[in-house]
């Protein structure tokens, strides 16, 4: 869509400006439009960086990449619940093209311009773009199945096959609709039928539906869907579709991040943590295809982890237990990274060292994805199989060569040292005593706590009290100083624990007070990982009615 300059108004209020900038940096929210081009905007991933600056990543052909690298001005466009926003003209620096993707930085925009949204704009689906729609008829078990024809912020048009006795009975009461996109994402909304038109020749009935106003989050989601439909329609209209990147909504197999954004999440932080889970999944696939750890991507995602941790450490700690749909390996890597960096966060670590620690922990166990699945699933290992399992460390270290910004000492301590033990019984090097770096000693504790808290083929998961007893009972293997520091830091009921109160209620611990006692919990109806349907949140004084905490409960697979 092309818009005249007079359609936009500058934003000068600092609080309003920051809100718009945050929206621009959300996954799937931004596009890049070259100033000298009358073409369509290109999808771009925008991440804030220290400095301040913005890190950009987009798919582009060679000609466009070269022009952007050479200083061609561009604007960033984004959607906000208040309207369409854009930056002033920007230029790329430190640009480089890698494997068909362009990466670079630009200065943080000094201001933004906002065009109040046009509610009546409709994104129309072209031939070949299929979005299925289910329309539930109230007072009947029948569900009308149809296809989406256009979508706006205030309504949509749907074509359905009529059902005798149902189609004609639909009135102006709110009806639930569900839109299903090819990648598996769904969008549920309520709407009112405003008009209908019967096509006897095609045996179809077309409904014009007005949406019931909803939450700002739902409107933000609608902005994204409208924009992606418009972008895919523009791509389909071109003679050479390969010149434009397809919308993830219309890719039948979806994408790692797209699948996750289609899920309802327990908290907003879980959705943001899912970006890191998607990155680790894609990195796993690259490793299995003889690839290496991508240095720029690892750098960006390590910085994202630090940003989330600095924003709200307890919300992030709780989010790590809400990722039941992720693989155990990805959950382990995320949990260890969050807790390891959280442990050292207040100990005067320099920023670059903290980032290196986050990056190393994020990938520390990804070498296991290179092992045969049956080896990892075996309940018992013979000596030869155990030697094969231990090779995961060397397999990963060989694929970290491109990450030259990572200090070798940190890589060795975290990736190479997570499985070492004080008595030399660990692997891969069997180092002992004074040979073990302080970070190695800490990493071994954090890694073991998380590993013991997860089920394995040969044993169930242990609760945190049993884990603490194990670590304290093996001082020959684990540094007792770090064990006790871990216990003091995370407490007897760590954030993310499921506890049972004296009255029988189950609740997830979300926050602790200064004495490491729960002062915010979320009620649970069953011992399964928290999801979008989790219960009421209770805070401070409200907890008194639950009585004392009786035990920690181990959740089961949902």
- Which residues, 6+ apart, have CB-to-CB distance to 241 below 8 Å? 235
Do 156 and 53 belong together in one domain? Answer: no
* Residue 237 domain flag: no
Do 15 and 80 belong together in one domain? Answer: yes
Amino acid 250: pLDDT = 77
Do 178 and 321 belong together in one domain? Answer: no
Q: In DSSP terms, which residues pair with 146 in a beta bridge?
A: 133, 160
Q: Is 84 exposed, middle or buried (0-12, 13-18, 19+ CB in 10 A)?
A: buried
d(C-alpha 467, C-alpha 452), whole Å: 7
Do 322 and 470 belong together in one domain? Answer: yes
Amino acid 226: pLDDT = 85
In Å, what is the CA distance from 38 to each residue of 56, 115, 160, 218, 438? Answer: 21, 19, 37, 31, 57
Do 129 and 107 belong together in one domain? Answer: no
- Which residues, 6+ apart, have CB-to-CB distance to 189 below 8 Å? 176, 177, 179, 211, 212, 214, 218
Q: In DSSP terms, which residues pair with 501 in a beta bridge?
A: 549
* Residue 247 domain flag: no
Tens-place pLDDT, residues 401-440: 889 999 999 999 999 999 999 999 999 999 999 999 999 9
Amino acid 102: pLDDT = 81
Backbone angles phi, psi at 342, to 5 degrees: -65, -35
* Residue 257 domain flag: no
Do 402 and 278 belong together in one domain? Answer: yes
* Residue 404 domain flag: yes
* Residue 480 domain flag: yes
Q: What is the CATH number of the domain that holds 52?
A: 2.30.110.10
Q: How many domains does the chain have?
A: 4
Do 42 and 151 belong together in one domain? Answer: no
Q: Which residue ranges of the chain lie beneath pLDDT 70?
A: 1-8, 12-16, 27-28, 36-40, 51, 59-63, 79-83, 99-100, 115-120, 128, 137-142, 164-169, 171, 216-217, 220, 237-246, 251-266, 346-348, 532-533, 557-558
Amino acid 295: pLDDT = 87
Do 169 and 98 belong together in one domain? Answer: no
* Residue 256 domain flag: no
Do 336 and 359 belong together in one domain? Answer: yes
Do 405 and 544 belong together in one domain? Answer: no
Q: What is the CATH number of the domain that holds 151?
A: 2.40.10.220
CA trace torsion 153, 154, 160, 163 (10° rounding): 150
CA trace torsion 326, 330, 332, 335 (10° rounding): -90
In Å, what is the CA distance from 546 to each residue of 425, 502, 506, 510, 552? Answer: 45, 6, 10, 16, 15
Q: In DSSP terms, which residues pair with 101 in a beta bridge?
A: 59, 98
Q: In DSSP terms, which residues pair with 160 in a beta bridge?
A: 146, 205
Do 98 and 180 belong together in one domain? Answer: no
Which of 162, 196, 221 is the C-terminal boundary of a domain?
Answer: 221
Domain that holds residue 520: 498-552
Backbone angles phi, psi at 497, to 5 degrees: -80, 150
* Residue 227 domain flag: no
- Tell me if 267 sits within 8 A of 314, measured CB to CB: no
* Residue 324 domain flag: yes
Amino acid 37: pLDDT = 53
d(C-alpha 223, C-alpha 226), whole Å: 5
What is the edge-to-edge ordering of all strands in the sheet holding 83-86?
A: 9-11, 112-116, 83-86, 74-80, 30-34, 42-43
Do 111 and 128 belong together in one domain? Answer: no
- Tell me if 317 sits within 8 A of 305, measured CB to CB: no
Does this model's pTM top 0.85? My answer is: no
Q: What is the CATH number of the domain that holds 309?
A: 1.10.3210.10
């Amino acid at each position: 869509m092309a818009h005249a300059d007079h359609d936009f108004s500058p934003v000068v209020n600092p609080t309003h400006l920051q809100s718009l900038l945050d929206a621009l940096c959300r996954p799937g929210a931004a596009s890049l439009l070259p100033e000298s081009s009358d073409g369509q905007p290109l999808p771009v991933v925008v991440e804030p960086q220290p400095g301040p600056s913005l890190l950009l990543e987009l798919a582009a052909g060679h000609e466009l990449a070269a022009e952007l690298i050479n200083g061609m001005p561009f604007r960033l466009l984004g959607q906000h619940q208040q309207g369409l926003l854009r930056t002033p003209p920007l230029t790329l620096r430190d640009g480089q093209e890698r494997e068909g993707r362009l990466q670079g930085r630009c200065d943080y925009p000094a201001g933004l311009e906002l065009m109040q949204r046009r509610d009546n704009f409709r994104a129309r689906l072209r031939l070949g773009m299929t979005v299925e729609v289910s329309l539930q008829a109230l007072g009947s078990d029948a569900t009308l199945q149809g296809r989406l024809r256009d979508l706006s912020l205030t309504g949509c048009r749907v074509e359905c096959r009529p059902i005798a006795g149902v189609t004609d009975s639909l009135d102006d009461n709110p009806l639930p609709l569900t839109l299903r996109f090819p990648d598996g994402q769904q969008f549920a909304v309520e709407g009112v039928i405003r008009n209908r038109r019967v096509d006897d020749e095609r045996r179809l009935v077309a409904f014009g539906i007005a949406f019931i106003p909803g939450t700002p989050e739902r409107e933000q989601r609608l902005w994204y869907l409208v924009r992606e439909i418009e972008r895919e329609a523009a791509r389909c209209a071109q003679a050479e579709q390969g010149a434009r990147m397809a919308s993830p909504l219309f890719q039948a197999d979806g994408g790692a991040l797209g699948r996750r954004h289609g899920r309802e999440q327990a908290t907003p932080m879980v959705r943001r943590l899912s970006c890191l889970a998607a990155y680790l999944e894609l990195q796993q696939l690259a490793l299995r295809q003889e690839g290496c750890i991508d240095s720029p991507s690892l750098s960006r995602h390590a910085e994202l982890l630090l940003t989330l941790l600095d924003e709200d450490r307890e919300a992030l700690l709780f989010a790590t237990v809400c990722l039941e749909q992720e693989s155990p390996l990805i959950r382990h890597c995320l949990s260890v990274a969050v807790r390891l960096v959280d442990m050292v966060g207040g100990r005067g670590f320099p920023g670059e060292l903290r980032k290196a620690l986050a990056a190393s922990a994020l990938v520390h166990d990804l070498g296991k994805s290179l092992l045969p699945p049956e080896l990892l699933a075996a309940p018992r290992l013979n000596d030869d199989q155990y030697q094969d399992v231990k090779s995961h460390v060397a397999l990963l270290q060989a694929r970290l060569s491109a990450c030259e910004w990572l200090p070798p000492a940190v890589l060795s301590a975290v990736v190479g040292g997570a499985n070492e033990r004080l008595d030399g019984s660990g692997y891969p090097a069997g180092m002992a005593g004074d040979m073990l770096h302080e970070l190695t000693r800490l990493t071994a504790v954090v890694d073991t706590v998380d590993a013991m808290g997860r089920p394995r083929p040969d044993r169930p998961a242990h609760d945190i009290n049993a884990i603490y007893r194990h670590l304290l009972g093996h001082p020959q293997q684990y540094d007792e100083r770090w064990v006790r520091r871990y216990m003091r830091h995370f407490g007897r009921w760590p954030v993310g624990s499921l506890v049972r109160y004296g009255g029988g209620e189950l609740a997830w611990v979300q926050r602790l007070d200064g004495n490491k006692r729960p002062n915010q919990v979320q009620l649970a109806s069953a011992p399964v990982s928290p999801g979008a349907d989790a219960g009421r949140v209770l805070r401070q004084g409200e907890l008194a009615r639950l009585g004392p905490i009786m035990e920690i409960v181990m959740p089961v697979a949902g």
